[in-house]
Amino acid sequence: MKYLITGGAGFIGGHLTESLLADGHQVTVIDNLSTGSLRNLDAVAANPNLNFIQGDILNFPELDNIVAGSDAVIHLAAAVGVELVVKDPVHTIITNVHGSECVLDCSAKHHKRIIIASTSEVYGKSKNPEFCESDDLLIGSPTFSRWSYACSKLLDEFYLMAHHRASGLPGTVVRFFNTVGPRQTGQYGMVIPRFVAAAIKGENLQVYGDGSQSRCFCHVFDTVQAIRGLINNNDSFGKIYNIGSRRSISILELAQLIIRQLNSKSEIKFIPYAEAYEEGFEDMQRRKPSTQSIKNLFGWEPRHTLEEIINDVAQSIEQ
């Protein structure tokens, strides 16, 4: 098959590209390298089935022809990371909304299979013990820029669903819950690579707030398998699927686990949210997905443990 991956030089995109190429597929990657990196494609750079194009989907005249020539589109290009979102909310909205509009319009025009990446952030301030795809969503006030990311990705979801209802677009939404693993950078606030890098250096692990907020972390290898299982599954058209681990851990406990597992001499330092991000910053207290929908669809479950994730991230950083 011929695949188009937008944002294919990003963290998830690079691993997905490797996986598809390993099975003999042809992959075209479009990435402007604003947050992605060619290093994520080093292992497959010489593969003749890879076509890398440095370009921005917001202004890329050849996008329509490339979509037309593809069998499936996986749209991963987005502004990501809480720190980047808070610092540049305008860029976040333009990239996530108008970029997705360009890709979805081309996909609808040529009736192409498309999967778009969304986020657990769309669940907003929900207090549910776990999040289900059919839940109502509670987004915070627009006076706080951190919610611009959630709103922009939610609009992407609505736009895909509108195309599906209007023309039968074979589209699917995936909501990622903290995908982590080798080659992920902590530059934009991703907590595990940030903690692991600090632990390796013996530096303080900076925990924002009181550390009681909890998250679930899914290995990128498991996320890639979930995406691949959805691509050719017609029953997933017009549906939304959570992709994530169901093991929940507080950020404080995560920091303690990383220090212990890596035999680090690092200590934990608490940083107020206002100092880390912006005054009045609102965090989600918990983010635990229900993954029953995707499990029922084709039996997907994450296979890698949190301890394996930490080891893989550490090995990647030390290389």
Which residues are designated catalytic? Answer: 149
Residues in Cβ contact with 23 at an 8 Å cutoff, skipping those fewer than 6 apart: none
Tokens 């991703």, located at residue: 190
Backbone φ and ψ for 124, nearest 5 degrees, come out as 60, -130
d(CA 257, CA 116): 33
Look-up: residue for tokens 């039968």? 168
Inter-residue contact 223 to 12 (CB < 8 Å): yes
Judge contact between 269 and 204, C-beta under 8 A.
yes
- 3-state SS record for 286-312: CCCECCHHHHHHHCCCCCCCHHHHHHH
Give the three-state DSSP class for 81. Answer: coil
Pair type for strands 179-180 and 2-6: unpaired
Nearest CA to 305 out of 221, 191, 183, 207 is that of 221
Alpha carbon 306 to its chain centroid, in Å, reads 17
